[in-house]
Amino acid sequence: MKIIWLYFMLLSVIMLSGKEEAVEFRKLNAVEKQVIENKGTEAPFSGKYWEHFEEGSYKCKRCGVPLFRSNDKFKSGCGWPSFDDEIEGAILQISDSDGIRTEIVCAHCNAHLGHVFVGEGFTEKNTRHCVNSISLKFEPSTETSGWQKIIIRIIMNIKVEYLIATDQ
């Protein structure tokens, strides 16, 4: 009896080990669903990030996986955020049904992001990921710049000197 039980336990472990973990998706509103799930496009020059150049990373709105870095973003004048590179393994390219364009989707959750164009000459990398702002969520950089580090040191030194002077 123990052998049969052990066999079924081992079989269960083998069967379950091949299953992927459940992916938690962010709840989308109707407009987000139209673009992200139904492969729509937001109007040019209307998105939140087309002229956004803060330091940080751009993540998939649906699953939260990092897709692009801010240092790969550039001004293309097309009305959508443009990146000349992606985070390795984050994006899948799929030939569009029209046979002309190449769609880009999140490699983790298959959310529609936009299209990629090659050979336009905007940057040295010669690639433009044209992305719907509504498909992205920006996360500011938490890294401290050189000036910020200097200011923090000055403040800490002033605080230490104050504590010494007041015998605390």
Q: Is 130 a catalytic residue?
A: yes
Question: How far is residue 93's CA from residue 129's CA, in Å, rounded to a whole number?
Answer: 10
Beta-strand relationship, 127-131 and 112-118 = antiparallel
C-alpha distance across the termini of the chain, in Å: 72
Closest CA to 37 of 111, 101, 103, 96: 111
Give Cα 132 distance to the centre of its chain: 12
Q: Which of 60, 63, 106, 130 is catalytic?
A: 130
Q: Between vectors from CA 58 to CA 56 and to CA 61, what angle results, nearest 5°?
A: 140
List active site positions. Answer: 130
